[in-house]
Amino acid sequence: MTTLARLDRIENLFPELMRRWARPLQMLDDTDIPADLRVDVSENDHEYLVSAEIPGAKKEDIRVSIDGNYVSITAEIKKEQEEKHGRSLVKETYHGSVSRGFTLASDVDEKSAVAKLEDGVLRLTLPKREGTTSRLLQIQ
């Protein structure tokens, strides 16, 4: 791990802690609403593969934004639950949003990117942009 990668992790620590701390306490109960958007990112020579679990979100309520090497995922989640206990009726409704943004090592070719939602899992295929390879600069 390079020194720059270590600094990047430290630099991203504060926003990550604030994002987790700012979640409403009501989301700590036993509902199926995610308290956080979990993301798995892997890469090969040509593309990044991203999986994000977003249970309860519909594809029209999910927004994916790509700006160079920065990817942002935002989802609106709506859940309604109704229970009847004898003569009483309990109806619980939740409406909220989850989001996550992260920086990749290479720029993404946003024109060739693909997003699919299957069984509450958003899968992104993000091709790396051609010609954005890094090189070692010789000191003269």
Give the CATH number for residue 97: 2.60.40.790
Does pLDDT of 20 surpass 80? no
Q: Which domain covers residue 38, as residue numbers?
A: 3-127
Does pLDDT of 85 surpass 50? yes
Does pLDDT of 4 surpass 80? no
Q: Is residue 119 part of a domain?
A: yes
Q: Is residue 55 part of a domain?
A: yes
Q: Is residue 70 part of a domain?
A: yes
Q: Is residue 85 part of a domain?
A: yes
Of residues 90 and 58, more confidence is placed in 58
Q: Is residue 92 part of a domain?
A: yes
Name the domain count of the chain.
1
Mean pLDDT value of segment 55-69: 90
Q: Residues 27-32: contacts with CB within 8 Å, 24+ apart?
A: 27/96, 31/79, 31/94, 32/56, 32/79
pTM over 0.85: no
Q: What is the pLDDT of residues 95-111, one digit of tens each?
A: 788 889 999 998 999 89
Q: Is residue 134 part of a domain?
A: no
Q: Is residue 132 part of a domain?
A: no
Q: What is the pLDDT of residues 27-45, one digit of tens each?
A: 444 455 555 788 999 999 9
Does pLDDT of 78 surpass 90? no
With tokens 């994000």, the residue in question is 52
Choose among 131, 22, 126: nearest CA to 65: 126
Q: Is residue 77 part of a domain?
A: yes
Does pLDDT of 64 surpass 60? yes
